[in-house]
Amino acid sequence: MTSTMPCGVRVLGTGSCVPDNILGNEELAKRFDVDLAWIEQRTGIVERRLCSEDEGTFELQTRAL
């Protein structure tokens, strides 16, 4: 059964945060001995953001607020 009563929840704002550590295609190209353009053409990705060992979704969401 579908209820039409409001549940009293609303979005007050939004935020975003990405990890500080950057893994670029240059490093991947060297590591796997492939051409830089090959990676970008096939994935469409230029860089990746990586969490540190002591960083997770909780820390990212806290920083986003």
Q: What is the pLDDT of residues 24-55, one digit of tens each?
A: 999 999 999 999 999 999 999 999 999 999 99
User: Residue 33 gets which letter from DSSP?
Assistant: T
Share of the chain above pLDDT 90, in %: 77
Which secondary structure element, helix H or strand E, spans residue 57, and what is its range? helix 57-64
pTM above 0.75, yes or no: no
How much is the pLDDT for 37?
95
pLDDT, the chain, mean: 91
Question: Quick one: how far is CA 32 from the chain centroid?
Answer: 23
